[in-house]
Amino acid sequence: MKKYFSIFALATLLLLTACGNDEPNNEQSSIGIVYSRAIDNTTGTTQFSQSQCGFTVRNNGSSMTMRAQMILKLTESTTVEFSTNFMPLSASSDEAYTYTFATSDISTTSGAHTISDLRGKINMVGPTYIEYTVDGKYRCYSTLQPYYTHTTTVVPQGDDSETYSDISYGVLVNNAGTEATLYLFGFHSPSSFSGVNLCYDKLKIESTATGYHLTGTDIVPTIHESTYDATGMPNEQYRASSIDINITEQGQSLTGTISTGTAESPKALTLNGKFFVTNYL
């Protein structure tokens, strides 16, 4: 249950804050799992890290602000911890419930590091994306566990295919950053109108300069009846002979294919998903 809940924790907090009490100084805090990549601009090497980070949203009645407390690895031996002051949330024109933010008011609590050019984007019922520079050398990208809400999924049926736009994707990464789990939330085949959660586990994941690369072979997915159902049942119908997923735009966009079916009758699930309607700040 905890595994699923962490994806939605901050989104729920923000939705309640945005739609709840409008009285001044209504403040709520949350802790979420954040994935970060630090790219060395000199060598091009990428360092992945996963940590619990804090977010506080304050509703002042006529405006909203947010504070972030972040932890990330620059290298295997160097960890940076910093916090922002409250940043104004500015409504984005591309999508409802979406805000952008930026600040130079940042304090570090571990070592003498300089954080600059921090900016990001948040959807009140979806994901959070933050990018910033450390010590003028490392460009860093952090996302509250990747959850792609703007999606299209092409599902083949015989010689035809049908396209669905109401299936969301979630990606969870293990602490070492070597394996990942891919979820298709609300998945349903062309012959079914009821949705389930389809889970492909133990995928290999690699950090890249632009995001992540997920691959896998011969994986039997599990079916979960609801988001909070922690016990999945194996599902041979969508056994994947191969999985190849690219996460690009610094983690904001997902594309790829899950090959299913048999050698005599191959099929594929084609996935396309985004964090936001337009993935730029």
The strand pairing partners of 138, in sequence order, are 40, 134
Give the pLDDT confidence score for residue 231 in this predicted structure: 80
* Other C-beta atoms lying within 10 Å of the C-beta of residue 5: 11
pLDDT, tens digit only, all 281 positions of the chain: 344 434 444 444 444 444 444 455 688 888 889 999 999 999 999 999 999 999 998 988 788 999 999 999 999 999 999 999 999 999 998 888 899 999 999 998 877 899 999 999 998 777 899 999 999 999 999 998 888 999 999 987 666 788 887 889 999 998 888 999 999 998 876 556 567 899 999 999 999 999 999 999 999 999 888 777 778 888 888 899 999 999 999 999 999 999 987 777 778 899 999 999 988 87
Give the pLDDT confidence score for residue 6 in this predicted structure: 43
196-223 pLDDT, tens digit each: 899 999 999 999 999 999 999 999 999 8
Domains detected in the chain = 2-144 (2.40.160), 147-274 (2.40.160)
Give the pLDDT confidence score for residue 189 in this predicted structure: 62
> If you search the block for the tokens 């290999």, which residue do you land on?
204
Concatenated DSSP letters of the chain: -HHHHHHHHHHHHHHHHHHS--STTEEEEEEEEEEEEEEETTT--EEEEEEEEEEEEEE-SS-EEEEEEEEEEEETTEEEEEEE-PEEPEEPTTSTTEEEEEES-EEESSSS--EEEEEEEEETTS-EEEEEEETTTEEEEEEES-EE-EEEEEEEETTEEEEES--EEEEEE-TTSSEEEEEEEEE--TT--S-EEEEEEEEEEEE-SSSEEEEEEEE--EEESSTT----EE-GGG-EEEEEEEEEGGGTEEEEEEEEE-SSSEEEEEEEEESSSS---
Give the pLDDT confidence score for residue 24 in this predicted structure: 53
Give the pLDDT confidence score for residue 155 in this predicted structure: 83
Q: Which residues touch 247 (CB under 8 Å, ≥6 apart)?
A: 146, 171, 211, 212, 213, 214, 253, 254
Here the tokens at position 225 are 């009846």
* Other C-beta atoms lying within 10 Å of the C-beta of residue 158: 8
The CA angle 165-170-159, to the nearest 5 degrees, is 45
